[in-house]
Amino acid sequence: MGKSRRNRGGQKRSDPISTKPKPVKPPSDPELAALRERRILPVLRDLQSADPKARTTAAGAVANIVQDSRCRKLLLREQVVYVLLSETLTDASLESRAAGWDILRVLIAEEEADFCVHLYRVDVVTALQHAARKVTEALTTANPPFSKNSKAEQEFVWSIAEALTAIIDALAEAHDEAFEAIVRNHDIVHFLFVLLSLGFTTASVYENAMLCLMTLSEDSRQFVEAIIADEITKTYQRLTSLQRGGGYKAVIACGILHNVFAVMEWHDQNPGKGGVSDAVLVPTLSQSLEKAQLSSNMTNGHGSSSPADILQLALEILASIGTTLQESLEKRSKAEWGGIVDKDDKDDDDDDDDVMDADVDSDDADEPLSENEDPSADKDDEEDDEMDEDEMEADMEMVTGADDHPDEGVSTNIDDLPTLKELLHKAIPQALKIAQKTDIISRDEEASTAIRTHAFATLNNISWTVSCIDFSDGQSAPILRVWRPIARTIWREAVVPILASDTSDIGLATVVTSLAWAVARTLHIGNTAPFLAGDEHKKFISLYHASKGLNTNTNNTTEQEKKEQQQQGANVEDPFQSLGVKCIGVLGQLALDPAPTALNRELGVFLVTVVSALPETPVADAVEALNQLFDIYGDEKKACDQEVFWQDGFLAHFEAAVPKFRAAVKRVDKGKSAELRQRADETLMNLTRFIQYKQKHRP
């Protein structure tokens, strides 16, 4: 759930401490050289002294100065990690070992993720295993019991435990090989389970241990099965008990259990032990959101259990539950339909893939047109290759059915989907309240914006899950009846205010636009009354034009800027997750029946203009615009077909777009942008089919 491990690479490790590091040259900067002589070298000499007291004092001194950035860089330059691993962490003095682990904890907290990778490669996991075993023995031994130790000794043990849990969590997040090594290590896993089982574990260590479990349980069947099978400390039972409580521990427990349910594929149609699924977690998370909002001390958030942290983590878990629910519905749909589903994997707020079945009965279906082909050329071979009317209708069904709902055939009574029911009735109202607020943390604007963005992400993921349910045949009418007023409220109270604010926060604008797209996908169903409060469509058009500047600056974005954009909710790698594509998606849905003719014409002209602007238009934008146009004008029975498509001469624009779009598709590198090329190829095939169909169905 939630957190992504940041470094997937790895190399074979060599023995990290078999040879002593080479002497380090002093820095060329006179000020740094003086600092090195005055503060760094003396403590490093004492850290390796034969005098135990000198070593202990030096370890404490290093722990104090490592917070300073210049001292920290100099310590790293002087190979302090080698000294810590080879001497300090194996010192006979408990106080020295505690200081050594605290130094490593601070280094990890202050340095980039690649420092964790470095630690893994110098075999810090072995040191972690040894220390974890020692702490476990100290905490669980009966002779003498831990409570009989001196207060100082107890504090040192808890200090080591807190440092170990922080380091374990950071390593697992940073590197896949480190993650797997930790999961396989019985001593480390047992250490974490023991910390949760003891009634006297300090609050900070307890929360750290739970955060470790949440990280390690993400997508790891081995670790999840260890949690479930643990009969010594009964970790699974303890987590279910914590989940029913309140506060930060309950929220983290929900995160761990959500990971467990996801890995074990325990969902509404396949519940786990005791009939559990994510449905049991949503009420706890929703109550946590409500209670955290009522806190009058939102900015006193330096502790791990601040209301701000509760809000953010609870929203992250709810957003993940929304995504997991959609995935479980898709899997069930595939099972019911024999697995015959042609659908690419996608992120939670991506539109359904614009693809056609590979089994279409058409000569054109197997590959795109060659560079020299033109749709009008088909007229010459019409007598030989002309499809009959039924084939033509089926072909058009494929073109305009690219966004068909993947969950057709899924049970349509909302009581049969308890997780969705809980999300709609309990999670959405709380997330909506947070999304509406501009002063969640009035003295911390950055934290306030981050929490609001998470609230919008939660609304977004749930809305996309609902939008992927098939409402076309009326079988899901009970869900639609429940959803429609909620969707209108989301549009009115979450989408419209952000549009009116003309926010400059790109991350927020992107997630709100994605939310609007998901909501718009359902609100036009069933010929309901128009839901636009005003000129929202003009706002999205303006936002699209503003997004084009972002596309041109992508190549100049630094890695740090990309990380910041990703943290704000923007996907800088997937072109189909761009703000521009999302704007096009919203506008296409707003143009669908029963949109008024004037609105349909305005949005149709906009989408045609986007395609006509090739090659200046990004390929992903053109792909989405074309697919929206296929859906809008694919049915000649709709009023907009005669009154807009034919009256405004759209067919000529489609025909003129073919060579430009084909050229743009050919420029997409299959190796670097495989999904973009695949979807662009498919859209090119659909474009030629669409033109052929419209040519043969002129009014």
> In degrees rounded to 5, what are phi and psi of residue 163?
-65, -45
Single out the residue of 585, 587, 601 nearest to residue 649, CA to CA.
601
Residues 540 and 499 in one domain: no
> In degrees rounded to 5, what are phi and psi of residue 185?
-85, 110
Report the distance separating Cα 499 and Cα 483, nearest Å.
Answer: 22
Task: Report the pLDDT value the prediction gives residue 356, as an integer from 0 to 100.
Answer: 32
Residues 468 and 542 in one domain: no
Single out the residue of 484, 488, 489, 508 nearest to residue 498, CA to CA.
508
663 located within any domain: yes
85 located within any domain: no
Residues 605 and 694 in one domain: yes
Rg (CA), the chain: 29
225 located within any domain: no
Task: Report the pLDDT value the prediction gives residue 395, as an integer from 0 to 100.
Answer: 55
pLDDT digits (tens, 9 = 90+) for 343-388: 344 444 444 333 333 333 333 433 444 444 444 444 444 444 445 5
Residues 546 and 487 in one domain: no
Task: Report the pLDDT value the prediction gives residue 410, as an integer from 0 to 100.
Answer: 44
18 located within any domain: no
3 located within any domain: no
Domains identified in the chain, total number? 2
Report the distance separating Cα 486 and Cα 491, nearest Å.
Answer: 9
Flag residues of the chain having pLDDT under 70: 1-21, 296-305, 332-412, 438-444, 526-530, 550-572
Residue 248 is classified by DSSP as H
Residues 487 and 596 in one domain: no
Task: Report the pLDDT value the prediction gives residue 347, as an integer from 0 to 100.
Answer: 44
Residues 446 and 491 in one domain: yes
Residues 486 and 596 in one domain: no
Q: Which domain holds residue 426?
A: 234-295+306-332+411-503
Cα 422 to Cα 41, 200, 247, 281, 609: the distances in Å are 60, 35, 20, 9, 42
Residues 464 and 580 in one domain: no
CA 192 distance to own-chain centroid? 26
Token pair in block for residue 3? 């957190």
Token pair in block for residue 614? 């090739």
72 located within any domain: no
Residue 296's CB: how many other CB atoms inside 10 A? Answer: 6
The DSSP string of 590-626 is: HTSTTS-HHHHHHHHHHHHHHHHTTTSS-HHHHHHHH
Per the confidence metrics, is the pTM higher than 0.85? no
User: H-type helices in 468-596, by residue range?
Assistant: 477-490, 496-501, 506-523, 536-552, 559-567, 579-590
Token pair in block for residue 50? 């034969």
Residues 474 and 544 in one domain: no
Residues 326 and 454 in one domain: yes
Task: Report the pLDDT value the prediction gives residue 444, as an integer from 0 to 100.
Answer: 67
Residues 465 and 607 in one domain: no
pLDDT digits (tens, 9 = 90+) for 536-546: 999 999 999 99
Residues 439 and 537 in one domain: no
Q: What average pLDDT is seen over the chain? A: 83
264 located within any domain: yes
138 located within any domain: no
